[in-house]
Amino acid sequence: MAGKIVNNYGSLPVVFVSGNGATLTDDKGKRYIDFVAGIGVNCLGHGHPALVRAVQTQAAKALHVSNYYNSDKGLAFADALLEASGMERVYFGNSGAEANEAAIKLARKYGWLATEAVKKARGAAGVPARNEVVTLENSFHGRTLAALAATGQDTFHPPCFAPYPAGFRAIPANDFAALEAAFDETTCALMLECVQGEGGVNLLDARWAQAAAAAARKAGALVIADEVQTGIGRTGYLFASEELGIEPDVITASKGIAGGIPMGACLFRGAARDAFAAGDHQSTFAGNPLAAAAGLAVFAELSKPGFLAHVKAAGERIRSEIAGWRLDMIRDIRGKGLMLGIDFSVDSGANKGVDAAAIQRKCLDAGLCISTAGTHTLRFLPPLVITDAEIDAGLKTLKTVLQSVQ
């Protein structure tokens, strides 16, 4: 059915043609409640008037001008993001993997500068290079080779793509003992995914994240928060790292940042601020005025009073409704804001390991788009503007499907 598009995604057999809010319509006119939002991308839902207007207006003015120059929208979006996040510089890219690639290069450059400074002070002999990036087991950082190397899941490292870039090591999350020997003078960064999305919607313990950030900093390393999925508003905070209290030196964002136009951002400050010099890292399309105009429109909506409170309340509505079903197959409901997972893991006694992908497929047939994270977790990433009525309609379908497989 996917025709000649590369068969990489295992796409489901549906062809969407339009959407409105948290509802999608396929080529046969069938309607679906959308709890996926393009993997957390369509944060304002489909057809949001302010976003549509911003994109249409900008398309008529200037789509792209190249980073040889500045654009008014690029400058304005940079200012808005930096002011809201307390960061000092931004590198725009086009995707999450590219935002992380920029963060990794920034950390390497920072480490290299630090190593050179030590060599100068002490003499070159015996000074180890500060170039290792410490990440977390079960993390996901993207599909370029460096982002895969950073990803702490062996399933993402098949031998067919070897060799992977060196200089990455994963430690277990929420394990205080693992911090004792985690960082030294060879560490250039600790890279944390604030809520592990692809890995199963796993939460970081804030006390552990703070201890990890402090230990990394003490060893002279940067702290990078990968907020490609949690970023802008998804968890009910502008950035999930705010709630964790880790004050990152570098934040990466992408998915929802421009509401559906490809855009990524690597934000940084402090010790990381001046590491990049002209020519160190570039991309042709990065931060073009169309993407920046879309980003500004998303940001304006997100900044309205009550927006983030709605995200939190909508997430609570989903959790409490599902908890009320008291289905044995559900072992856990976890997440933050509108980034939630239902866990059907094998060890829940009554349940012998319900396959999340099979449920996803049944939901689709019944008119609900929902995604998975790993084998046994169903993942919710609905539009941040989803209404109570849309939530209730989607959950009604989900409940029927779950009861049918129970």
Ligand X SMILES: *Cc1c(COP(=O)(O)O)cnc(C)c1O
Kindly state the smallest distance separating residue 270's Cβ from ligand X, in Å. Answer: 22
Q: Which of 81, 97, 302, 386 binds ligand X (CB under 6 A)?
A: 97
Judged by CB under 6 A, which stretch of 92-100, 161-169, 340-348, 379-387 contacts ligand X? Answer: 92-100
Q: Which of 74, 93, 96, 233 binds ligand X (CB under 6 A)?
A: 96
Q: Judged by CB under 6 A, does residue 371 bind ligand X?
A: no
Q: Which of 23, 42, 58, 95 binds ligand X (CB under 6 A)?
A: 95
Kindly state the smallest distance separating residue 79's Cβ from ligand X, in Å. Answer: 24
User: Closer CB to ligand X, residue 135 or residue 187?
Assistant: 135
The Cα 58–Cα 101 span in angstroms is 28
Q: Judged by CB under 6 A, does residue 362 bind ligand X?
A: no
CA 302 to chain CA mean position, Å: 17
Q: Total residues at the site for ligand X (CB under 6 A)?
A: 15
Q: Tell me how far CA of residue 320 lies from CA of 218, 372, 391, in angstroms.
A: 41, 20, 12
Q: Judged by CB under 6 A, does residue 193 bind ligand X?
A: yes
Kindly state the smallest distance separating residue 226's Cβ from ligand X, in Å. Answer: 5
The Cα 34–Cα 23 span in angstroms is 5
Kindly state the smallest distance separating residue 233's Cβ from ligand X, in Å. Answer: 15
Q: Which of 38, 74, 142, 233 binds ligand X (CB under 6 A)?
A: 142
Residues 235-254, one symbol each (x = binds ligand X by CB under 6 A, - = not), give -------------------x
Cβ–Cβ under 8 Å, residues 381 and 394: no
CA end-to-end span of the chain = 31
Residues 385-404 binding ligand X (CB under 6 A) are: none
Residue found by looking up tokens 């059915």 in the block? 1
Judged by CB under 6 A, which stretch of 175-183, 192-200, 215-223, 240-248 contacts ligand X? Answer: 192-200
Residues 99-128, one symbol each (x = binds ligand X by CB under 6 A, - = not), give -x----------------------------
Q: Judged by CB under 6 A, does residue 228 bind ligand X?
A: yes
Kindly state the smallest distance separating residue 90's Cβ from ligand X, in Å. Answer: 17
Judged by CB under 6 A, which stretch of 21-29, 66-74, 134-142, 318-326 contacts ligand X? Answer: 134-142
Judged by CB under 6 A, which stretch of 53-61, 222-230, 337-345, 380-388 contacts ligand X? Answer: 222-230
Nearest residue to ligand X, by Cβ distance, number only: 96
Kindly state the smallest distance separating residue 169's Cβ from ligand X, in Å. Answer: 18
Binding site for ligand X (CB under 6 A): 95-97, 100, 140-142, 193, 197-198, 226, 228-229, 254-255
